[in-house]
Amino acid sequence: MKGMHPPQWGYDNADVSVQLVNESADGAEAIGRALRAHPAADHVARTGGVYAVPAELPRGAGVTGLHVTFLDGDMDRIGYETIEGRNPAAGTEIALGVRAAELLGKRVGDVVGLYIQGRKADYTVTGIYQSIANRSLTARLTSDGIARLGLDEEPSAPLFFVRLGENADPEAFIAELRGRFGDAIYAASQETLVREAFGQALGLLVWPLGAMGLFILGVACGITYSVSRLQVRRDGWMLAMYRALGMTAGRLRLAILSGTAPPAIAGAAAGLTIGAIFTPHLLDAALRSYGLADFPAVRDAGALAAAAAACCAAMLLGTWLASGAITRQPVRPLPEEA
């Protein structure tokens, strides 16, 4: 999970998340007070979710409702990010997921009307963000944005995000909470939640991507084998002459290999450079319908170097296997001058 930055995927960046297992108003207030009073906590925000129906839908919009997250706290300090504008800070403001904004035809500065539990309110769009959750058919409000609706029943808000102070230990903080509240809460560090959120998805991608990588390496090996095999057949008479002059088959194979190495290395380097530049743009286009307008690509220099080495090794292996035909060619003696 190294290199994962949750806010780029639409998640928070809190150090610790605390969720009430058996929610009650008194329990939530008690836990909220305990978290805010803890000396290791730098900022605490309480969050929940509601379902909203847009007051106006463009024809053929393909969306019937939005999953709305509301937060009692500072969205910036909790780590929520936007790709345009900013997070909402007042009860009359809202941030829209990128797909929600596209389908509703809204941009920063526009007004969007929402029905939540039968109550309608208008909000000014202050930001647009991307999120893989619910394909970005989502929105963010402040807790004041919910309170102004005057709902008959207060929406559930069972989750607390906690940003810890400098040098605070998340695991020690969690252990203390569990010792105090027991089974009434579920607390986890960001590392644990990132592993849970992305681990299964990455696991599902490893096998198909690994198979694709092996297929590409096989194709590269096969192409270089075919080309080198044709070269050995074409120059068979010359290779036989070199052997007659005393060169061993091994030296001839190394000579052919040394001729393949420079273009193989140059080709692998050029391919990886082009791929590193253009692949994120292709992924942006492919994944936009899933809520990601700017794919958070992680460029690992070590992984790129390993991929380049594997490509070169596959091509050199193809050349080496093809040059094995030299060992099976008979050595023809040179004709003697009269």
- Domain co-membership, 164 together with 23: yes
pLDDT value of position 331: 60
CA distance 53 to 316: 60
Of 312, 300, 154, residue with least CA distance to 220: 312
Alpha helix locations (H) across the chain?
A: 25-37, 75-78, 98-104, 143-147, 170-181, 190-234, 236-244, 249-287, 301-322
Digit-coded pLDDT (tens) for 246-287 = 778 888 888 888 888 888 888 878 877 787 777 777 766 666
Q: Answer whether residue 189 is part of any domain.
A: no
Digit-coded pLDDT (tens) for 299-331 = 667 777 888 888 889 989 998 898 888 777 666
**Residuewise pLDDT in 10s, the chain (338 residues):** 555 678 888 889 999 999 988 766 567 888 999 999 999 999 999 999 999 999 988 887 778 899 999 999 999 999 999 999 999 999 999 999 999 999 999 999 999 999 999 999 999 999 999 988 888 899 999 999 999 999 988 898 889 999 999 889 999 999 999 988 888 899 999 888 877 766 666 665 567 777 888 898 899 899 989 988 888 888 877 877 777 777 788 888 888 888 888 888 888 788 777 877 777 777 666 666 666 777 666 666 777 788 888 888 998 999 889 888 877 766 655 555 54
CA distance 156 to 50: 8
Which tokens sit at 325?
A: 């035909």
- Domain co-membership, 109 together with 215: no
Q: Answer whether residue 260 is part of any domain.
A: yes
- Domain co-membership, 216 together with 152: no
Classify strands 41-54 and 111-116 as parallel, antiparallel or unpaired: antiparallel
- Domain co-membership, 126 together with 227: no
Q: CB neighbours (10 Å) of residue 266?
A: 11
145 touches 92 (CB < 8 A): yes
Q: How many domains does the chain have?
A: 2
Among 147, 168, 189, where does a domain finish? 168
Q: Answer whether residue 178 is part of any domain.
A: no
pLDDT value of position 49: 94
Q: pTM of the full predicted structure? A: 0.70
Classify strands 66-72 and 138-142 as parallel, antiparallel or unpaired: parallel
Domain that holds residue 40: 6-168
pLDDT value of position 206: 65
pLDDT value of position 115: 95
- Domain co-membership, 214 together with 79: no
- Domain co-membership, 212 together with 160: no
- Domain co-membership, 142 together with 76: yes
Q: Answer whether residue 134 is part of any domain.
A: yes
